Amino acid sequence: MAEAKGKKQAKGKGPGAAADAPAAGALHRYRSHTCGALRGSDIGQDVRLSGWVHRVRDHGGVLFIDLRDHYGITQVVADPDSPAFKVAETVRSEWVIRVDGRVRQRPDGTVNAELPTGEIELFATEIEVLSAAKELPVPVFGEPDYPEDLRLQYRFLDLRRETLHKNIMQRLKITRFIRDVMDEAGFFEFATPILTASSPEGARDFLVPSRVHAGKFYALPQAPQQYKQLLMVSGFDRYFQIAPCFRDEDPRADRLPGEFYQLDVEMSFVTQDDIFTAMEPIITRVFEEFGNGKGVKTKPWPRIRYDEAIAKYGTDKPDLRNPVEMADVTEHFRGSGFKVFAGMIDKDPKVQVWAIPAPTGGSRAFCDRMNSWAQGEGQPGLAYIFFREGEAAGPVGKNIGPERSAAIRDQMGLKDGDAVFFAAGNPAKFYKFAGEARARIGEELKLIDESNFALAWIVDFPFYEWNEEDKKIDFSHNPFSMPQGGLEALQAAKSDEDFLALKAYQYDIVCNGYEIASGSVRNHRPDVMVKAFEVTGCGQAEVEERFGGLYRAFQFGAPPHGGMAAGIDRIVMLLLGAKNLREISLFPMNQQAQDLLMGAPSDAAPKHLRELHIRLVDTDRK
C-alpha cells in the first residue's frame, strides 16, 4: 500500500490520490490528483481536481475547460447531460474551481501529444466555484507583450503565465543543483548577517536607521565580503552561500535594482590557480546540466589577461562566441598616404590604430551601414577597406596603397569578400567603441555561435585606476585584493604611473558577453592593507575605523585566502535564454526601483520617524 501511494504521488509530481485521501473510499476536500497527474492508466477512475480555469471553449454546446494548477493542465468536458453543465456555463478564465468526474479516453483524433495529460479528459459530474475572478488586467493565457509596469503591479497574475512560471521553477532547480555540487566539492554553507556596517563594494549602500542608537545606521550588505573573510580567519576553511546582496544602484537589463543573489565562495590556504581548479568544473557542470542542449565551448576555459581582452575585444567581458579579434595596425599607417591617421600618429605617441576585421562583410553596402551606425554612436565615422578580386577597395585602401593594404590583409587573415574597419586615437578613449563595433559586426554578419556557452577567466586586472572626478588614485576592483608582488611592489612604486601599472590577483568569469562572477586572492596582511589604502589617500586611522573587524582579525593569524562571487540571476538568465532579469525573478522592482505590487518605497508614519530620530527635509525648498 505504501509503495502504491509513492508511485501515485511521483506520477503527478505533487499530492497524489491515495497519499492525500483521509479515509478509504473518501476524496480529499479539494483534490485526489493534481492537474498534471492523470494518464491513460487512470481511465475509468472517479477523481477530484482543483485549479484555475485556464480557458473555456464552447464546441457546439459541449464545454471544454482547461483546468490548470502548478503541475499541469487537464481537459474537463461538460455537456448538457452533465449535472455540472449549469455551473460550467458560468465559469470564466482564472476562476478557481473544484471538479469531480470520471476519467475517460479522448476521442480518436483529439489526443494532444504536447500535453502529458493529453491522452485523457475528465467528464465533469460536479463543479464547485471556490473563488471567482474579476476581469483580468493582464492576461494569463498565452504570452502577449504587455506593459512591464502593469505586469509588475499584478505580478501574482504574471507569475501564472506558463513561461514565467517555468522559469521560476527552473531557477529553483539550478540553485538546488549548485548547493549539491558545492557540498560534493567540500564547501560548507554558512549564513551571514543582513544588518551590518557600510562597506565599499563599488555602489551605494541601503541604510537602515537604528531606533536604539540615535543618529546611527546599519547598512544592508552589498556582499558578505568581510564576513566571509572573517570566517576564514575563524578557521572554517571552505565557505559558500546563496547570498542576498543589496545595492542602491541604477537598474539595467542584466542588473536588478535593490536586491540580487550571488553564489558567494571563500577558501583558505589557496592560490589563484587553486580557486580556478575548484570552481571551473562546478560552473561548467551547471551550464552543461541546464544548458538545454548547449555545450561549453572550451574546456579548460581560456585565461585571458585584462590588457589582452581590452586590446583584442574592446571589453573585459568579451563574447567569445564572436570570432572577431582586433589587432594593432599602427605601423601600417605611419607615414602613409591616409593623412588623417598618419598625422595623428606623428603628433601623439599614445595614438594607435586598431583593425576590426569583418569576415564576409566585404560589400560597400555593409561598410556604409557600419559607417552610419558609428555616426549614430557620436563618432565621425568608421574608416574601412573591403577586399574584392585581390584588391583593396574604398578610400582608405586607395590612400595607403596596395602594399600596405596587403600587409593589413595578411596580418588580419582576411580574403576576398571580407572587410576591415579601423579605430584610431588614444586606446583608453576609443577601446569601448571599438568593442561595440566588434559586437555589431558579429551580430550583423551572424558570426556568433549560438550553440555554445563561451566561458573564460579574465585575469591580471589593474590594482588601481585613476579617478578623474576626484583627481586621485582609487581601487580598481575592490580594496580587499592582494596586489601582485605584495608589499614590496607597493613600496617600489614611486609615481602615479607606477601604481597604476600594478596588477592584482583579481579575476572575473565571463560568459557570452556577460560578467557572471568576480573574485580575488585576498590581502590577509594588515601592513599591506594599510599601505594599499594610503595610496588612495586613506590613512591607518581611517582603515581601522572603516574596517575595524577585518583589520583586527588580521592581527591574530589570518590564513592566505581567496574566493569569488557568481551572479545567480545572470547565470539563470543565460541558461534560460531570457532577455531580462525580470523574466527569472519572483517579485522584481521596475526601472525606477519601485515595487509596484507592494507599493514600496512608501511614506513612513510620523510616529515611526520620531522613534528612529529622523526628520525629513524638503530639499526643494530654497
pLDDT band for 307, please (50, 70, 90 cuts): very high
Sign, Cα dihedral of 369, 370, 373, 375: negative
Residue type, 237: D
211-231 pLDDT tens trace: 999 999 999 999 999 999 999
pLDDT score recorded for residue 200 = 62
Residue 238 has pLDDT above 70, yes or no: yes
* CA dihedral of residues 50, 52, 55, 59 (deg, nearest 10): 20
Residue 23 has pLDDT above 50, yes or no: no
Q: Report the pLDDT value the prediction gives residue 17, as an integer from 0 to 100.
A: 42
Mean pLDDT over each residue of the chain, to the nearest integer: 92
The C-alpha cell at 469 is 572626478
For 411-457, give the DSSP string.
HHT--TT-EEEEEEE-HHHHHHHHHHHHHHHHHHTT---TTEE-EEE
Domain 322-448 sits in CATH 3.30.1360.30: yes
The number of C-alpha atoms within 13 Å of 93 and in the hemisphere containing its C-beta is 14
Superfamily the domain 2-131 falls into:
Nucleic acid-binding proteins (2.40.50.140)
Q: Which helix (H) or strand (E) holds 392?
A: strand 391-393
483, 521 Cβ separation under 8 angstroms: no
Percent of the chain's residues with pLDDT above 70: 94
**Residue pair 346/365 in contact by the 8 Å Cβ criterion:** no
Number of H helices, E strands in the chain: 21, 24
pLDDT digits (tens, 9 = 90+) for 173-200: 999 999 999 999 999 999 999 999 887 6
Mean pLDDT in residue range 272-299: 96
Q: Which residues contact 421 (CB under 8 A, 6 or more apart)?
A: 355, 356, 358, 367, 370, 382, 383, 384, 437, 441
Query: In sequence order, which residues have a C-beta less than 8 Å from that of residue 477 and are 6 or more positions away?
Result: 461, 504, 506, 518, 520
Q: What confidence score (pLDDT) does residue 548 get?
A: 84
C-alpha cell at 10: 511521483
What CATH fold (topology level) applies to the domain 159-298+561-612?
Answer: BirA Bifunctional Protein; domain 2 (3.30.930)
What residues does each domain of the chain span?
2-131, 159-298+561-612, 322-448
Specify the DSSP element, H or E, that contains 58: strand 46-59
The burial of 343, by beta-carbon neighbours within 10 Å (0-12 exposed, 13-18 middle, 19 or more buried), is given as exposed
Q: What is the pLDDT of residues 429-452, one digit of tens each?
A: 999 999 999 999 999 999 999 999
Q: How confident is the model at residue 621 (pLDDT cuts 50, 70, 90)?
A: low
What is the band of 142 on the pLDDT scale with cuts at 50, 70, 90?
A: confident
Q: How does pLDDT run across 549-605, given as a tens digit for each residue?
A: 899 999 999 999 999 999 999 999 999 999 889 999 999 999 888 999 999 999 999
* Tens digit of each residue's pLDDT (9 = 90 or more) over 353-396: 999 999 999 999 999 999 999 999 999 999 999 999 989 999 99
pLDDT (tens digit, 9 = 90+) per residue, 70-115? 999 999 999 999 999 999 999 999 999 999 999 999 999 999 999 9
Judged against a pLDDT cut of 50, whether residue 4 lies above it is answered with no
Q: Cell triple for residue 429?
A: 578613449
Confidence of residue 254 (pLDDT cuts 50, 70, 90): low
SS3 readout for 228-262: HHHHHHCCCCEEEEEEEEEEECCCECCECCEEEEE
Highest-confidence segment of 138-152, 182-196, 245-259? 182-196
How, if at all, do strands 62-69 and 72-78 pair?
antiparallel
